[in-house]
Structure 1
Amino acid sequence: MLRQLVSRLEKFTALDSVSDRLQEKVQAVARPERLRDVLHGTWLGHPLHPVLVQLPVGAFLSAGVLDALPGQRKAATTLICVGVASAAPAAAAGWVDWSSLSRDQRRVGLVHAAANAVALSLYVGSLAARFTGRQGWGRLLAYAGLSVAGSGAYLGGHLSFEQGAGMNVASPDKLRLPADWAEVGDIAELPENRPTVRTIDGVRVLLYRVGNDVTAMVEQCGHQGGPLGEGEVVGSGAEACVVCPWHGSTFRLTDGVAQHGPAAGDQPTLRTRVRDGVLSVATP
């Protein structure tokens, strides 16, 4: 029944009007590219949001354990303060990631965020009760907040592991490519300083040649699967980058390193070799 409810949530188009307006506002607030890259986790090589949520989640869970033990009232209150304070940066990173997702993912993400907001409000109420001497209400509100946060965590897990939000969707394509060397063709046929696309075992591969050096990477953008082969090339030579035409993720063509988000991870690359003028590729 729970899975059926989440499945219906993915298709609940009534959320789209709210979702679209919020997306515009989030993108307007996070317009500076450097700020977006920090919150996406591009500098980390990994989405930042899952890292930041560890602190509030850990603090709230620990407070729940201490609330069940005698004589731990002050320690539990301190942990709830830590959890409430650390929720803000985690939420900021989550909203920026959410703003670059597809509509069905944003529907689930919107309810995930709403559940977390309710949980946070309950924890703030718990602190207010504790500071005014109503310890029983403080514990009750904290446990209610933990329950709601658990529901939000379930939706967050569904968003990541079932819908693929935040995952590098190009990685499965790399697994389909040959582990042994597969010939692509004469290197002389590849344009220099300009990416081109070849299909190998049903997988589109983006090739970039600088002199006699060729880089190969999965052509499907790791963020949401956009066609990098149709993207704009910025820069030149060894510093040239390809910009995904869907959401603007930017990868250096010589090594696939992510330069700008929303992609947090690097684009999967392949081994290349040239023998007798013939280019071959293989998985790492």
Structure 2
Amino acid sequence: MTVTRAPDPAPHDDPPRYDRTVDPAEKIIASQAWLDAAAEPLQRAIVGLYERGGKVGQRVEDFLHGKYIGTPLHPILVTIPIGAWSVAAVLDLMELRGRKDVRAGADLAVAIGLVGGMAAIATGWTDWARSGDSPIKRRVGFVHGSLNESAFLLYAGSYLLRGGRARATARGLGFLAYTISGMSAHLGGTLVYKEGLGVSHTAGQRPPDEFVPVLADADLPENVPTRVKAGEVPVLLVRQGEHIHALAETCSHLGGPLSEGRIEGDAIRCPWHGSLFRLSDGYVLESPSAHAQPCFLTRVQGGQIEVRPGRSPD
């Protein structure tokens, strides 16, 4: 087989395609171009904050993206406020029916939700800031995060009022915040399940199980990212000395073409959002990707480079 050039990256600034979804909320939010006036500067500010932090900022961002656990951290942390505030809502309803003995439990649940909510908000905004230039992701994500912030502030107010005479107002604020958080959760599901934010963009690729020839050995230059295909799956080849490294060419973060990326020592950096992957095993060296790149075993047979899925024992 012969080497093929990477296709042009899918345009991220295309206007939203409203026929791609039947979700009315997504349609409405995605069409509100005025949101960009607040969303775009906020994305730049968040990214700039981490970049100004140097190595420390990079490590903090890596942690918040979920690099160290190999999966996004935000979906894990959101279970804390959602679960705690669900308990608080139930206990507040019980209090309305005359159960005064549940007050302490409701107040504690609200407090736990606030602590977990701070962590969930930090990871959510971090993921969103690196979500690319898609108007849909930018606008829906901005509204999703803003609703979460609103729910958090309402719960904070509810907690402060629970120790005084305004307990009925505190419960009302809690019920309102819980409703808002539910609306936000719907948009969060849209971002993940419809827009693919936070999922691995290599998950659906199925290369051949056996070694297949992809390129003549003589045609692979030193330290030049080269795109080939194993079956229908794009593969990245990089020759470094005696080693030929092979990774999935589609970036797991948001589908960027790694063959257009930059070699940095024994790693390659995605040209779209800057994720850095180790060539030998696809390990994420720098986020925003939390998912390692699938890697391939390589060999040279009859002058042809052959690949199959697998990780080198080296």
| TM norm structure 2 | 0.82
Deviation at 1:279, TM superposition (A): 2.8
Q: Secondary structure at the match of 1:92?
A: helix
Which residue does 2:277 correspond to in 1? 251
* Aligned-partner Cα distance in 2 for 1:225–1:38: 21
Equivalences for 1:83-102 in 2 at 5 Å? 83-101=113-131, 102=133
Listed one character per residue, the Cα deviations across residues 35-70 of structure 1 (whole Å, up to 9, x for unaligned) are 221211112211111122121111111212222332
- CA apart distance, 1:188: 4.3
What CA deviation, in whole Å up to 9, does each residue of 1:156-212 have, x standing for no partner? 01011101111111222x22x223332224434433444322133343210123455
1:171–1:268 Cα contact (<8 Å) kept: no
Mapped to 2, the partners of 1:110 and 1:197 lie a distance apart of 35
**What amino acid sits opposite 1:198 in the alignment?**
V
The letter of the residue matching 2:277 is F
Q: How far does the alpha carbon of each residue in 1:88-121 deviate from its partner, in whole angstroms, 9 at most, with x for none?
A: 1211111111111133201001110111112112
Q: What is the correspondence of 1:1-284 to structure 2 with a 5 Å cutoff? A: 3-31=23-51, 32-69=57-94, 70=99, 71-101=101-131, 102=133, 103-172=135-204, 174-175=205-206, 177-235=207-265, 240-284=266-310
**Counterpart AA for 1:27:** V
- The alignment yields a C-alpha RMSD, in angstroms, of 2.1
List per-residue Cα deviations over 1:96-153 (Å, max 9, x = no partner). 1111113320100111011111211221221122111333222222122111100000
CA distance in 2, matches of 1:243, 1:168: 17
Task: Say which SS state the counterpart of residue 139 (structure 2) adopts.
Answer: helix
Q: Show CA shifts across 1:2-25 (max 9, x none).
A: 812312322321211111111121
Structure 1 distance, partners of 2:176, 2:147, is: 12
CA–CA separation in structure 1 for the residues paired with 2:230 and 2:107 = 58
Query: Quick one: distance in 2 between partners of 1:275 and 1:212?
Result: 15
C-alpha separation in 1, matches of 2:156 and 2:299: 59
Contact (CA 8 Å) 1:66, 1:76: kept in 2 or not? yes
Identical-residue share of aligned pairs (%): 36
In structure 2, distance between residues paired with 1:200 and 1:14:
44
User: Is residue 225–residue 260 contact of structure 2 (8 Å, CA) maintained in 1?
Assistant: no
Amino acid at match of 2:289: A
| 49-58 or 268-277: bigger deviation | 268-277
1:50 alignment partner, SS class: helix
Could you tell me whether the CA contact under 8 Å between 1:170 and 1:218 is conserved in 2? yes
Q: Tell me how many residue pairs correspond in the alignment.
A: 278
Q: Distance in 1 between matches of 2:302 and 2:87?
A: 63
**d(CA) in 2 for partners of 1:146, 1:249:** 35
Quick one: which amino acid aligns to residue 118 of structure 1? Answer: S
Distance in 2 separating the partners of 1:219 and 1:127? 49
SS of 1:72's partner is helix
Give the corresponding residue for 2:10. Answer: none
For 1:260 and 1:5, locate their aligned partners in 2 and report how far apart those are by CA, in whole Å.
34
What SS does the corresponding residue of 1:122 show, helix, strand or coil? helix
What TM-score, normalized to structure 1?
0.90
SS in 1 for 2:67: coil
